[in-house]
Amino acid sequence: MNLNTLHLFVAIVQTGSLSKASERTGVPIATISRQIAELEKHLQIQLFDRQKSGVKPTMAGQKLYDEVHLSIDNLLNAKQVLFDDEQNLKGILRISAPSKCEPVLAWVSEFGQKFPNVQIHATMTERILDLSADSIDVAFRIGELHGEHFIAKKVATLGTKWVAHPELLARFGTPNTLKELKNFPIATWAKNGENEVVIQMNKEKIALPIAFASNDAYAVEYMIVQGLYIGQMSAVTADEWIAKKRLVEILPKLEKPDYELFMLYASQRYPSAIVRAFVEFVMDQAT
């Protein structure tokens, strides 16, 4: 199976059209079309459904993409970095992290300055990702994770604080115990369909009704800063708003749980040079 043809096949799936794949690879559309036709003939299976808006992989095409695209990307990265020294590292690094995850953004910023020829694309989301299907090289997620197809390494411990807008406290009063939080509108991160959140502080646990929920930390932060709800934020973000006198810490004497941040990447024996450099960089910064 021709590697150049597989490279073109991967480009078509990722861009959704032959013309965009042609722009990305610099290969004429006619050549791409001919090579894909030859690949389909060789495999004796249809790889794409042709549509007016472009092309979409068939079920068989998607399976082939899942199997080969990381290997093709690694080969392309290897071609770019082979015989180059570390400072000339070139290629694309695709990461994912929760929104407003400042430790990760700081690492990415420093890595980008150290390796200016590496293009970095960051997908900021809390949703669960398939590293292969979503074309993510390195992901950062909160909470201990295990899996057969990825390696997870702890890189940080994130503290939290409960905060509220002074005007909201003027309306509702200031809670002094965990149980008193039941009298306040709570904003929190939650999955769709969840209607309560379990809070634990000082070994005391309580289930609280959720007034506003989102799968995006920034949305929760926005609602709290507007004075509509109280809720929990990362200590770093909370301290910024407290310093601006926009928020006040509540229940400061209660012990808040910490959350562990993990770095995930595919469990390949030979990761790409860029992924290997980034993983080593983060681990150096985290220790």
User: pLDDT tens per residue, the chain (287 residues)?
Assistant: 677 788 888 889 989 989 898 888 888 998 899 999 999 998 999 999 988 778 999 999 898 888 887 777 666 665 554 445 555 788 899 999 988 788 899 999 999 999 999 999 998 887 766 676 778 899 998 875 655 678 889 999 888 999 999 999 999 999 999 899 999 999 998 877 888 888 888 778 889 999 999 988 889 999 999 999 999 998 989 999 999 999 999 999 888 878 889 998 887 656 788 998 999 999 988 86
Supply the pLDDT for residue 171.
Answer: 94
Supply the pLDDT for residue 286.
Answer: 81
The helix/strand/coil state of 224 is: helix
Residue 143: partners with Cβ closer than 8 Å, 6 or more residues away: 259, 260, 262
Could you tell me which CATH number the domain at 160-257 has?
Answer: 3.40.190.290
Question: Do 3-81 and 160-257 agree at the fold level?
Answer: no
Supply the pLDDT for residue 258.
Answer: 83
CA dihedral 23, 27, 28, 33 (to 10 degrees): -100
Supply the pLDDT for residue 129.
Answer: 66
Residue 118: partners with Cβ closer than 8 Å, 6 or more residues away: 89, 90, 91, 92, 93, 111, 112, 274
Pick the CATH number of 86-145+267-286 from 1.20.1260.10, 3.40.190.10, 1.10.760.10, 3.30.70.360: 3.40.190.10
CATH 1.10.10.10 assigned to domain 3-81? The reply is yes
* Residue in 232, 226, 230, 229 with CA at minimum distance from that of residue 246: 226
User: Exposed (0-12), middle (13-18) or buried (19+): which is 54, by Cβ within 10 Å?
Assistant: middle
Q: Are 39 and 58 in contact (CB under 8 A)?
A: no
Domain definitions of the chain by residue range: 3-81, 86-145+267-286, 160-257
Supply the pLDDT for residue 279.
Answer: 92
Supply the pLDDT for residue 98.
Answer: 85
Supply the pLDDT for residue 83.
Answer: 45
**Residue with the two structure tokens 């860029």:** 274
Supply the pLDDT for residue 180.
Answer: 93
This model's pTM is above 0.75: no
**Residue with the two structure tokens 């411990």:** 157
